Amino acid sequence: MTGQNTLQNALSAEIDKVLGCIHCGLCLPSCPTYQQLGNENDSPRGRIYLMRAVTEGRLDAASPSFSRHIDLCLGCRACETACPAGVNYGHLLESARETIKYHGGDSAGPARFQKRMLGYALRNIFPNPKRLGTTFALFRFLRDNSLTRLIFRSGIVSRISKKADFAFSLLMTTSQGISRSVTGEASGAGARQVSVFTGCVMESLFKPANDATKRVLAVNDCSLRNVGEQVCCGALHAHSGDLETARDLARRNINAFESFLDSDNGATIIINAAGCGALLKEYDQLLKDDPAYAARAEKFSRSVRDVTEYLARGEVKTGAPIDRHVTFDAPCHLFHAQRVTTAPQQILTSIPGLKYTPLDGMQDCCGGAGIYNLSEPEMSEKLLADKIGKVKATGADLLVTANPGCHMQLGAGLKIFSVDCGVAHIVELLDESYRKAGFYSK
Ligand code: SF4
Ligand code: SF4
Q: For the chain, which residues make up each domain, given as ranges?
A: 3-102, 318-437
User: Sign of dihedral through CA atoms 329, 330, 333, 336?
Assistant: negative
Torsion of CA 71, 74, 75, 78, to 10 degrees: -140
CATH architecture of 3-102: Orthogonal Bundle (1.10)
Give the start-end residues of each E strand in 334-391. 355-356
Pocket probe for ligand 1: among 26, 73, 379, the residue whose CB has the most ligand atoms within 8 Å is: 73
- The phi and psi torsions of 61 (rounded to 5 degrees) equal -60, -25
pLDDT digits (tens, 9 = 90+) for 133-188: 999 999 999 999 888 888 888 888 888 888 888 888 999 988 887 876 666 767 77
pTM above 0.95, yes or no: no
Pick the CATH number of 318-437 from 3.30.2020.10, 3.40.50.720, 3.40.50.1860, 3.40.1450.10: 3.40.50.1860
pLDDT above 90 coverage of the chain, percent: 71
pLDDT digits (tens, 9 = 90+) for 272-319: 999 999 999 999 999 999 999 999 999 999 999 999 999 999 889 999
Maximal C-alpha separation, the chain: 68
Q: Which residues contact 234 (CB under 8 A, 6 or more apart)?
A: 245, 246, 247, 248, 249, 250, 279, 286
Tell me the pLDDT band of 333, cut-offs 50, 70 and 90.
very high
Q: What is the Å distance from ligand 1's center to 27 Cα?
A: 9
The alpha-helical segments, DSSP class H, found in 60-173 are 64-71, 78-82, 89-102, 112-124, 129-144, 146-154, 156-160, 162-173
The response to whether residue 27 sits with its C-beta less than 6 Å from ligand 2 reads yes
What's the Cα-to-Cα distance from 329 to each of 122, 198, 291, 414, rounded to whole Å? Answer: 27, 22, 39, 13
Residue 127 corresponds to which amino acid? P
Nearest CA to ligand 2 atom 2: 83
pLDDT number for residue 191: 86
pLDDT digits (tens, 9 = 90+) for 241-277: 899 999 999 999 999 999 999 998 899 999 999 999 9
Q: Which atom of ligand 2 is nearest to the CA of 43?
A: 6
Helix/strand/coil for 87: coil
User: Sign of dihedral through CA atoms 242, 248, 251, 257?
Assistant: negative
Nearest CA to ligand 2 atom 8: 21
DSSP run (H or E) holding 260: helix 243-263
- d(C-alpha 97, C-alpha 95), whole Å: 5
Strands 304-306 and 325-328: unpaired
The response to whether residue 44 sits with its C-beta less than 6 Å from ligand 2 reads yes
- Rounded to the nearest integer, the mean pLDDT of the chain is 91
